[in-house]
Amino acid sequence: MRKQKRSMQKMIIAVMVIGSFLFGSCSKTEFTEAGKNDSPITSGADGENRDHSANGLPQETDSRLEVHFMDVGQGDATLISCDGYYMLIDAGNNDKGTAVWSYLKQQGVERLDYVIGTHPDADHIGGLDVVLYKFDCGTVIMPEVENDTRTYEDVVQAMEEKEYPVTCPVVGETYSLGEASFTVIAPNKDYGLDMNASSVGILVEHGENRFLLTGDAEEEGEEDILENGIDISADVYKAGHHGSKTASTEEFLNAVNPEYAVISCGEGNSYGHPHAEVLNRFRSMGIDVFRTDEQGTVVAVSDGREITWNCTPSESWQAGEPTGSSAGQNTEEKMVYITKTGEKYHREDCSYLKNGVEKISLFEAKERGYEPCKKCEPPVE
């Protein structure tokens, strides 16, 4: 392992120390006041150091980075703060925007220095329009791929109304976040309409601690990350694609060599995330796993040397089980059809299908925010 495993006793003691500003326990819950950070950190639009003590002077204590892996059900939303600077990565599905906004306000966020929409799938950018409207935002990073869905259009409209320019990700480019920094590691090429492969991936560094987040990048995207020459070794790995077997390949995990993995997925989700294959890889490598479907919002705190958590790792190693009619079936193998301008997915013989038809998996159609056509009634699970 990249670092020697900490004992459980040490972790619990550390959690007690930071309990005054974190959850205190990690019981399954979405956004609660118990997660509020009561430290004297405020945000402002002037770009100056916004980390102040009660007497208005800069704090003498070491820099602290917090990574909040928010429980937004089957989706992604991650808040990263350091020394009074804030970054949001994704904002869950369409019905999670207000909840994400509320959680950020609880954490003292008044301005977001960075906003990253990893890719235009509904479970990642669905709530982003609310966040863009509610907060003043600095740099907004999104990949150069569009999605023909109302969800994506809502985000574009919010960007236009707030006059936020889109910053396209450039692999190798590094940004500062207080005493921390993050480097863009993906996407590494044009993947056409493959939304997952187009995911923005970043490596966050704070002192000796490193966090890797790759959105929904799958095997091809991971291979390209491995070839770009950037050292992606990290202490914490946010499991790609919600713990799907299409990501977190053995070769990729060997390169990251994390001590911890965090899986963001919804309890009882229809995709069966996290998949057993991925959990088995984590377990065989001795990686401690945290899960939002079991533990609610998971918070990691870095002092630049060590990482402490608001809960102990999951011990269930329980793979997800597809629900409803998809139980016992592989929903990723069912194929449906979409058009370039439509918002619905169809059966192959649907009369609504016109020119520019694209065949995609049911799984991908749902990930990209398409809804089933009411006329041809394609599969929904």
> CATH number for the domain including 241?
3.60.15.10
Residue 355's pLDDT band (cuts 50, 70, 90): low
Domain total for the chain?
Answer: 2
Q: What was the pLDDT predicted at 33?
A: 32
How far CA 252 is from CA of 217, 265, 303, in Å, comes to: 11, 20, 27
HEC-encoded secondary structure of the chain: CCCCCCCHHHHHHHHHHHCCCCCCCCCCCCCCHHHCCCCCECCCCCCCCCEECCCCCECCCCCCEEEEECCCCCCCCEEEEECCEEEEECCCCHHHHHHHHHHHHHCCCCEEEEEECCCCCHHHHCCHHHHHHHCEEEEEECCCCCCCCHHHHHHHHHHHHHCCCEECCCCCCEEEECCEEEEEEECCCCCCCCCCCCCCEEEEEECCEEEEECCCCCHHHHHHHHHCCCCCCCCEEECHHHHCCCCCCHHHHHHHCCCEEEECCCCCCCCCCCCHHHHHHHHHCCCEEEEHHHHCCEEEEECCCCEEECCCCCCCCCCCCCCHHHCCCCHHHCEEEECCCCCEEECCCCCCCCCCCEEEEHHHHHHCCCEECCCCCCCCC
Last residue of a domain, one of 277, 309, 341: 309
Task: Measure the CA–CA gap between 277 and 284, rounded to whole angstroms.
Answer: 11
Residue whose token pair is 């601690």: 209
Residues 206, 252, single domain; the answer is yes
For residue 317, is it within any domain?
no
Residues 186, 227, single domain; the answer is yes
For residue 318, is it within any domain?
no
Residues 241, 348, single domain; the answer is no
For residue 199, is it within any domain?
yes
Residues 15, 97, single domain; the answer is yes
Residues 239, 361, single domain; the answer is no
For residue 22, is it within any domain?
yes
Q: Is the Cα dihedral 83, 229, 307, 22 positive or negative?
A: positive
Task: Over range 36-63, report the average pLDDT.
Answer: 37
Residue 28 has pLDDT above 60, yes or no: no
Residues 81, 210, single domain; the answer is yes
Residues 63, 200, single domain; the answer is yes
Residues 174, 283, single domain; the answer is yes
For residue 47, is it within any domain?
no
For residue 125, is it within any domain?
yes
Residues 201, 254, single domain; the answer is yes
Q: Is the pTM of this model over 0.85?
A: no
Residue-wise pLDDT tens digits, 94-133: 999 999 999 999 999 999 999 999 999 999 999 999 999 9
Residue 36 has pLDDT above 90, yes or no: no
Q: What was the pLDDT predicted at 3?
A: 47
Residues 302, 333, single domain; the answer is no
Structural domain harbouring 339: 329-372
Residues 89, 163, single domain; the answer is yes
Q: What was the pLDDT predicted at 322?
A: 67
Q: What was the pLDDT predicted at 323?
A: 54
Residue-wise pLDDT tens digits, 241-282: 999 999 999 999 999 999 999 999 999 998 899 999 999 999
47/70: higher pLDDT? 70
For residue 350, is it within any domain?
yes
Cβ neighbours, 10 Å, residue 95:
12
Residue 335's pLDDT band (cuts 50, 70, 90): confident
Q: What was the pLDDT predicted at 149?
A: 85
**For residue 322, cis peptide bond before it (omega within 30 degrees of 0):** no
Q: What was the pLDDT predicted at 380?
A: 78
Task: Measure the CA–CA gap between 136 and 111, rounded to whole angstroms.
Answer: 5
355/271: higher pLDDT? 271
Q: What was the pLDDT predicted at 70?
A: 98
For residue 324, is it within any domain?
no
- Opening angle at CA 54, ends 52 and 60, nearest 5: 50
Residues 161, 224, single domain; the answer is yes
Q: What was the pLDDT predicted at 30?
A: 43
